Amino acid sequence: MILYNLCCSADHVFEAWFKDSAAFDEQAVAGEILCPVCGNASVAKAPMAPRIVKGGDSGDDRGEESGPGPQTYTNTKATEMRRMLTELRRHVEENSDYVGDNFAEEARKIHYGETEERNIYGEATEDQAEELTEEGVKVGRIPWLPRTDS
Ligand SMILES: [Zn+2]
């Protein structure tokens, strides 16, 4: 028996048992595997190694209980997201001038041609960002991760 972590096209992750990997393929193709959350039949293996359980043992399977559950998948996604945001941050830092708290002021100056046109980044409050957008200043907001030593 193989336990697969599966996910549907709506990103619901769930576990299901199969006789072997061929059984999974057959049932997947036949649309027999349904997401228990939304009933979606487009189900794929979640990207993690399947847990293979040996059959016919005496039943002493203590020690296997601490295996990774479905949340491992979520952690993988979070890690991936974090990597992308770190990458984004690096890109912004390399291609833009840091203006700190003066972001709104500098963005306006650039928008109204009072200073050299360039990419800037810095901190702005929600209100400032909203005002800038209303004035037609192109403002992008990205989730900013604290720098990590990697
Ligand atoms: Zn679903």
Domain positions in the chain are: 2-52, 80-134
Q: How far is the CA of 48 from the centre of ligand 1 (A)?
A: 18
Q: How far is the CA of 46 from the centre of ligand 1 (A)?
A: 12
Burial tier of 55 (Cβ tally within 10 Å: 0-12, 13-18, 19+) = exposed
Q: How far is the CA of 47 from the centre of ligand 1 (A)?
A: 16
User: Measuring CA to CA, which residue among 63, 72, 138, 85 is closest to residue 108?
Assistant: 138
End-to-end CA gap in the chain: 39
Residue 37 · residue 80 · CB < 8 Å: no
* 142 pLDDT tier (thresholds 50, 70, 90): confident
- Residues bordering ligand 1, an ion, CB closer than 5 Å: 8, 10, 12, 35, 37-38, 40
Q: How far is the CA of 53 from the centre of ligand 1 (A)?
A: 26
User: Measuring CA to CA, which residue among 32, 52, 51, 53 is closest to residue 43?
Assistant: 32
Q: What is the pLDDT of residue 69?
A: 54
Q: How far is the CA of 32 from the centre of ligand 1 (A)?
A: 14
Q: What angle do CA 127, 132, 136 make, to 5 degrees?
A: 145
Model confidence pLDDT, tens digit, residues 40-88? 999 998 865 545 556 655 545 554 455 555 555 566 777 777 888 788 8
Q: How far is the CA of 8 from the centre of ligand 1 (A)?
A: 5
Model confidence pLDDT, tens digit, residues 96-138? 888 989 999 999 999 999 998 888 988 888 899 889 989 998 8
Q: How far is the CA of 10 from the centre of ligand 1 (A)?
A: 5
**Side-chain-facing half-sphere of 101: CA atoms under 13 Å:** 0
Q: How far is the CA of 88 from the centre of ligand 1 (A)?
A: 30
Q: What is the 3-state secondary structure of 33-71?
A: CCCCCCCCCCEEECCCCCEECCCCCCCCCCCCCCCCCCH
pTM equals 0.44
112 — phi, psi (to 5°)?
-95, 10
CA distance 45 to 9: 11
Q: How far is the CA of 35 from the centre of ligand 1 (A)?
A: 5
